[in-house]
């Protein structure tokens, strides 16, 4: 009952802060044109950039200061997890989503992106199929990461044993789920990952590199906030020991809240998560690549699902429009399900 009251309270605060509903509020002078052009809608300017909650700004410690504190003294840099290394350099990272078994696809796209988003929440792909893809071309470049079906120890154990360098846990509503995501991903004394076999050591042990001694520093733990319950608990989720990054599941947050992404209440909700993540010293992101540009949080959106390749390479099967691994962006005006944002479009989860 307390949790329900808390969620009701945050909904009330958001609704009172921005009014009921004002998805087409005019943008401030000189702003909002990019969002309007992206959204279409017969010339209507959809003010999807703004809400009433002011985005917090970093202090001298910058983004990710707490995540950086988790790294052991004397850790070897650069990390062999290229996605984590780029985050620690204050750069944005983008991925390519793989939902079906395709070693050839993995080996090609892995050369061009910062990380691979192996989709195991919304696919029937198995852990063994992911393992076989990673083993086909070890250390191809992009950090292999799995969007998990859940934060259960049994599944995180399988993911880490097969050799991923990061996990993305969906629909995290409270600090208990965030805690499990973090603690089962790293070995003691930092976490409580069980020692096991699997392909991980084979993949990442190289001359001068001991997997067991270095994987805690290279592991990237990302949790997704996708509900108003998660928004209400954003501060404690972000502050959880071992969590490195918090990202918004943009489609689901729109679906679960009932607010279009153009709605100022929605923009206030993601700003609240942004502020909590900054205060906790973690990295903030939006799954939707449309948040890379044109939104007031774009500069601080350090992680997206999909997005452009880091070297400008264009995937042949997904060069324009929605590909087989992408969803339409819901909660925004325009084409099927809404406008397609971002420099490459699609992929908002």
- Confidence at 332, pLDDT banded by 50, 70, 90: confident
Query: What is the rounded average pLDDT of the residues 130-152?
Result: 97
Q: Is the dihedral of CA 100, 106, 109, 112 positive or negative?
A: positive
Whether 127 has a pLDDT exceeding 50, the answer reads: yes
Q: Which CATH number is 2-19+51-318 given?
A: 3.20.20.60
Model pLDDT, residue 344 = 37
Cis peptide before 189 (omega within 30 of 0): yes
Question: CB-hemisphere CA count at 13 Å for 326?
Answer: 31
Task: Supply the pLDDT for residue 329.
Answer: 85
Higher pLDDT, 347 or 83: 83
pLDDT score recorded for residue 45: 42
pLDDT band at 23 (very low <50, low <70, confident <90, very high): very low
At residue 48, the pLDDT reads: 74
35 has pLDDT over 70: no
pLDDT digits (tens, 9 = 90+) for 167-221: 999 999 999 999 999 999 999 999 999 998 899 999 999 999 999 999 999 999 9
349 confidence band (pLDDT: 50, 70, 90): low
- What band does 255 get if pLDDT is binned at 50, 70 and 90? very high
Q: Inform me whether the pLDDT recorded for 11 exceeds 70.
A: no
Query: What's the pLDDT at 346?
Result: 39
- Whole-number average pLDDT of the chain: 85
Convert the pLDDT of each residue in 275-307 to its tens digit: 999 999 999 999 999 999 999 999 999 999 999
pLDDT at 222 over 70: yes
Q: Is 71 exposed, middle or buried (0-12, 13-18, 19+ CB in 10 A)?
A: middle
Q: Please compute the mean of the pLDDT values over residues 96-101 and round it to a whole number.
A: 97
The predicted pLDDT at position 49 comes to 78
């Amino acid at each position: 009952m307390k949790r329900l009251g808390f969620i009701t309270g945050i909904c009330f605060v958001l609704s009172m802060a921005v009014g009921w509903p004002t998805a087409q509020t005019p943008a401030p002078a000189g702003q909002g044109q990019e969002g309007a052009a992206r959204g279409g809608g017969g010339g209507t300017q959809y003010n999807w950039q703004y809400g009433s909650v002011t985005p917090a700004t970093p202090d001298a410690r910058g983004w990710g200061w707490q995540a950086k504190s988790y790294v052991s003294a004397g850790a070897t840099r650069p990390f062999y997890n290229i996605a984590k290394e780029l985050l620690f350099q204050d750069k944005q990272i983008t991925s390519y989503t793989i939902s079906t078994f395709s070693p050839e696809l993995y080996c090609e796209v892995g050369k061009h992106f910062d990380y691979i988003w192996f989709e195991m929440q919304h696919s029937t792909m198995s852990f063994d199929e992911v393992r076989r893809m990673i083993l086909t071309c070890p250390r191809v470049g992009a950090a292999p990461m799995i969007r998990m079906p859940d934060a259960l120890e049994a599944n995180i154990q399988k993911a880490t044993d097969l050799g991923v360098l990061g996990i993305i846990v969906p629909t995290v509503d409270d600090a208990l789920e965030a805690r499990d995501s973090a603690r089962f991903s790293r070995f003691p004394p930092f976490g409580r990952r069980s020692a096991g076999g699997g392909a991980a050591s084979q993949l990442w042990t190289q001359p001068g590199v001991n997997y067991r001694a270095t994987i805690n520093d290279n592991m990237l733990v990302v949790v997704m906030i996708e509900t108003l319950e998660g928004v209400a608990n954003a501060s404690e989720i972000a502050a959880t020991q071992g969590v490195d990054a918090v990202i918004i599941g943009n489609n689901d947050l729109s679906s679960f809240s009932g607010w279009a992404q153009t709605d100022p209440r929605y923009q206030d909700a993601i700003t609240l998560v942004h502020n909590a993540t900054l205060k906790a010293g973690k990295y903030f992101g939006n799954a939707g690549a449309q948040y890379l540009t044109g939104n007031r949080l774009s500069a601080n959106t350090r992680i997206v699902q999909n997005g452009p390749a880091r070297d400008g390479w264009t995937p042949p099967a997904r060069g324009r429009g929605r590909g087989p691994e992408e969803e339409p962006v819901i909660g925004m005006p325009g084409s099927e399900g809404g406008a397609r944002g971002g420099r490459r479009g699609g992929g908002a989860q």
